[in-house]
Chains A and B, each alone.
Chain A
Amino acid sequence: MAEKQETAGERLDRLDVLPWERAGAPDQLVNGAAGSLKDIWKHRELLGLLTKRELKARYKDSSLGFVWSLIKPLTQLLIYYVVVGKFLGAERGIPNFAVYIFAGLTIYTLFSEIVSGGTSSIISNSGLVKKVYLPREIFPLSAVGSALFNLAVQMVILLITALLVGTLTLGPHLLYGVGALVVVVIYGTALGILLAALNVYLRDVQYLVEVILMLFMWGSPILYHWTFAVSAMPGWLGQIYLNNPVTLAVIGFQEAVWSPGSSSDSLDGLALRLLAAAAVGLVLLFVSQRVFARLQGNFAQEL
């Protein structure tokens, strides 16, 4: 930015040829989505800064800092391993139970952090929403960013553990893990954006989300194997259960880091199911963004 200050005349000349823009967010159906994307892309630097701010501010004055974001999942792991695995005996049916739980927990934490962080993002940034125009999708997206950062930290531990236990091998099955991540990010983002907008109008949403996230956690095969659940359900319900994108993602993730050397009964057609879930998720993401765009016009006055 070494350019000269422009003079008043130069400024006028430049402005004279600029095209008109509509104030506020773009509103048409297809062009609107593209416009929003462009708007967000223009603000990608800000997105990075907001994500950083969220991470930095969270543990700013604690001496352990972001280690705290590790302690919670590790404690969870310990509790589930001891209580569910040892006391309740779940580990008898599942070899390498610790890796199994931790794989499920890691991917599920990503999902729940994106959704719950996204839901409250507009309200917790109300100061900005009311005073500055920004593409508001940035706030739920920065929740995605900080959740991904936490995931990265947990992934390091997960991978090291899996390597030590011997369930981590190179091969095409690792792609399941990538697919699972993509599916979780798509669905998490779609729900985060949608719920963030709804939460502005109806504050109950954030409490409802907590409850539903807890339900989903037990509804996905994190602490038990999916075959246990399916065998206890009528066939049609079992299919619904299996095609739940969160379940698919958890299974896919376990497939990548736990299955080799642990289990051979994998879900048939997992790759196809993940692809289908991702495709449906993209539609959902598009719809959520449109709903968000419609609702955001009144954010500033509702907050």
Chain B
Amino acid sequence: MTSATPVVRVENVSKRFIIRKEKSLKERLVNAGRSSKFKEDFWALQDVSLEVNAGSTIGLIGPNGSGKSTLLKAIGGIIEPTSGSVFRRGRLAALLELGAGFHPDLTGRENVYLNASILGLSRRQTDYYFDDIVDFSGIHNFIDTQVKFYSSGMYVRLAFAVAIHVDPDLLLVDEVLAVGDEAFQRKCLDKIRAFQTEGRTIVLVTHSLEQVNELCDRAVLLSSGRMIFDGIPHEATQMMRNVLEDRRLDEVQEKEKEDEPVAVGSISDVSVWAEGRRLGEPVQPGDSLVVRATFAHSAGIRDWIAAVQVNSSLGHVVFGTNNERLGMNLGYLKDERTIEFVVPDVSFGSGKYFVNISLMDEAHVHVIDKAQAASFDVPYFEAATGVVFARPSMKQLT
């Protein structure tokens, strides 16, 4: 890319939604005088400005309800902003929902033509691509069957096959990549990479922060309708995780206020840090990870088990152990006892990790679990992604 060629200009776009609580004529007439009482409005987008350059891939991220999809729809022209304006150029294809135009009573073939036309292909172009589309979807035998008899996988595959054969300059994608089995998802991602090399512009809304880090060269973080970050993906995803973490902690506190001492066991003062570093400081590969927790049991429990588990931000177990695995017997628990796990020389990949602590009895029945009791961050490394840290190298053999 020699010079930047913008294809989308979003200028001070705001969008207000008004939620009316009644819909019928009668209700409106009855409530005409005090209609403001029956309305609620909120700003889904507030003063968002953005310029997208041709050939770039932008991820829109943010917690639920932050206005990502609204922004995407405003760019696509599906929603008109309350104030501000959106300008764009070039051919547009919006993949807000796969198979949005599919009609269940029509055959696959008819739906391909209809959907292609909705996405902006002429009949001649569809004729030209038709075999490719059927090949890609892999449903040769069912192309003349009504779509309502399709399995959901076939349906999605056909819809995606149509969508990617439209030849867009600007592709808007809203979480459709989350559907389908793994093989299909990989196919989608491969196709998106191919689009990138062809100089197409992609605006992607997704909840998968890994995808953003992998695919995008720029990320925009929205929160409550405002743009709070615009820049390098891994910084944006880091911020996003912090936003989510803040929310979670708020929720946990709320919940703890509500349901207090029912459980007879208790876990308190959970903390995690790297030896030689302060609490809350990022954990570097090679550090020794220390997890400390205080257990108690009001009725008293014999041969109890203390377990620790480290989860990735997606909830996958990355690491876990307990005293039984370590060949240790903790004896009898009644009054508070503090246990410390030390994991030397950790090599977690970059991202946020959560620590779960469990108190179990001798039969492995969980007495109390403290999910996501503490968390730690591992800083971003340029050379690799994933949950395992290792220093890769590469050489050319032929």
Measured CB to CB, the residues of A under 8 A from B are: 1-2, 5-9, 11-12, 15-16, 18-25, 43, 45-46, 49-50, 53, 56-57, 60-61, 127-134, 202-204, 296-298, 300-301
Contact for A20 among B9, B25, B100, B114, CB less than 8 A: B9
A16 vs B199: C-alpha distance when bound (angstroms): 13
Instruction: Indicate the size class of the contact surface on chain B.
Output: 35 or more
Complex contact B79–A300 (CB within 8 A): yes
A129 vs B78: C-alpha distance when bound (angstroms): 8
Closest to A208 in B: B25
Per-residue 0/1 for B68-106: is the Cβ within 8 Å of any A Cβ (1 yes, 0 no)? 000001111111100001111110101011001101011
Complex contact A130–B118 (CB within 8 A): no
Q: Which 7 interchain pairs have the tightest Cβ spacing?
A: A8-B199, A297-B80, A23-B77, A131-B100, A24-B77, A23-B86, A133-B77
A90 vs B55: C-alpha distance when bound (angstroms): 74
Residues of A within 8 A of B200 (CB): 11
Please give the distance in Å from A124's CB to the nearest CB on chain B. Answer: 11
Contact for B101 among A6, A20, A56, A132, CB less than 8 A: A132
Complex contact B94–A131 (CB within 8 A): yes
A49 vs B114: C-alpha distance when bound (angstroms): 6
Complex contact A45–B122 (CB within 8 A): yes
Q: Contacts A21-B87, A53-B103: A45 and B123 contacting too (C-beta < 8 A)?
A: yes
Complex contact A1–B124 (CB within 8 A): yes
A297 vs B82: C-alpha distance when bound (angstroms): 9
Closest to A58 in B: B105
A61 vs B80: C-alpha distance when bound (angstroms): 39
A107 vs B169: C-alpha distance when bound (angstroms): 46
A61 vs B94: C-alpha distance when bound (angstroms): 32
Complex contact B106–A131 (CB within 8 A): no
Residues of A within 8 A of B36 (CB): none
Please give the distance in Å from A195's CB to the nearest CB on chain B. Answer: 14
Instruction: Pull 19 A–B residue pairs with CB atoms less than 8 Å apart, ordered by A.
Output: A8-B55, A11-B54, A11-B199, A16-B54, A18-B89, A20-B88, A20-B89, A21-B87, A21-B89, A23-B75, A23-B77, A23-B86, A24-B78, A53-B114, A60-B146, A202-B28, A297-B80, A301-B17, A301-B79
Contact for A7 among B24, B28, B198, CB less than 8 A: B198
Closest to B17 in A: A301
A-B contact count (CB 8 A): 135
Complex contact B97–A19 (CB within 8 A): no
Residues of A within 8 A of B9 (CB): 20
Residues of A within 8 A of B146 (CB): 60
Closest to B88 in A: A23
Closest to B9 in A: A20
Complex contact B105–A132 (CB within 8 A): no
A43 vs B17: C-alpha distance when bound (angstroms): 30
Report if B125 contacts A (CB, 8 A).
Answer: yes
Complex contact A133–B76 (CB within 8 A): yes
Complex contact A128–B101 (CB within 8 A): yes
Report if B354 contacts A (CB, 8 A).
Answer: no
Closest to A16 in B: B5
Q: Contacts A131-B78, A204-B25: A15 and B89 contacting too (C-beta < 8 A)?
A: yes
Residues of A within 8 A of B28 (CB): 202
Complex contact B88–A21 (CB within 8 A): yes
Contact for B87 among A23, A43, A203, CB less than 8 A: A23
Residues of A within 8 A of B1 (CB): 8, 12
A296 vs B77: C-alpha distance when bound (angstroms): 11
Report if B49 contacts A (CB, 8 A).
Answer: no
Please give the distance in Å from A106's CB to the nearest CB on chain B. Answer: 27
A219 vs B77: C-alpha distance when bound (angstroms): 42
Residues of B within 8 A of A128 (CB): 100-101, 118
A202 vs B86: C-alpha distance when bound (angstroms): 29
Report if B154 contacts A (CB, 8 A).
Answer: no
Closest to A134 in B: B118
Complex contact B198–A8 (CB within 8 A): yes
Per-residue 0/1 for B118-142: is the Cβ within 8 Å of any A Cβ (1 yes, 0 no)? 1100111100110000000000000
Contact for A45 among B24, B90, B96, B117, CB less than 8 A: B117
Report if B7 contacts A (CB, 8 A).
Answer: yes
Please give the distance in Å from A222's CB to the nearest CB on chain B. Answer: 29
Contact for B103 among A24, A57, A129, A204, CB less than 8 A: A57
Residues of A within 8 A of B96 (CB): 130-132
A9 vs B74: C-alpha distance when bound (angstroms): 28
Contact for A56 among B90, B106, B125, CB less than 8 A: B106
Q: Contacts A1-B125, A12-B54, A23-B86: A202 and B117 contacting too (C-beta < 8 A)?
A: no
Report if B257 contacts A (CB, 8 A).
Answer: no
Closest to A203 in B: B23
A57 vs B7: C-alpha distance when bound (angstroms): 39
Residues of A within 8 A of B129 (CB): 1
Complex contact B117–A53 (CB within 8 A): no
Complex contact A23–B76 (CB within 8 A): yes
Per-residue 0/1 for B2-24: is the Cβ within 8 Å of any A Cβ (1 yes, 0 no)? 00010101000000010000011
Please give the distance in Å from A4's CB to the nearest CB on chain B. Answer: 12
Please give the distance in Å from B299's CB to the nearest CB on chain A. Answer: 55
Per-residue 0/1 for B274-307: is the Cβ within 8 Å of any A Cβ (1 yes, 0 no)? 0000000000000000000000000000000000
Complex contact B199–A12 (CB within 8 A): yes
A23 vs B198: C-alpha distance when bound (angstroms): 24
A189 vs B7: C-alpha distance when bound (angstroms): 36
Contact for A133 among B25, B94, B105, B110, CB less than 8 A: B94
A5 vs B194: C-alpha distance when bound (angstroms): 12
Closest to B13 in A: A23
Q: Contacts A8-B199, A132-B100: A57 and B106 contacting too (C-beta < 8 A)?
A: yes
Report if B393 contacts A (CB, 8 A).
Answer: no
Contact for B105 among A7, A12, A56, A134, CB less than 8 A: A56
Residues of B within 8 A of A43 (CB): 117
Complex contact B117–A49 (CB within 8 A): yes
Residues of B within 8 A of A18 (CB): 89-90
Residues of A within 8 A of B398 (CB): none
Residues of A within 8 A of B97 (CB): 127, 131
Please give the distance in Å from A194's CB to the nearest CB on chain B. Answer: 17
A56 vs B199: C-alpha distance when bound (angstroms): 40
Report if B273 contacts A (CB, 8 A).
Answer: no
Please give the distance in Å from A32's CB to the nearest CB on chain B. Answer: 13
Q: Contacts A23-B87, A53-B106: A11 and B100 contacting too (C-beta < 8 A)?
A: no
Please give the distance in Å from B333's CB to the nearest CB on chain A. Answer: 56
Report if B197 contacts A (CB, 8 A).
Answer: yes
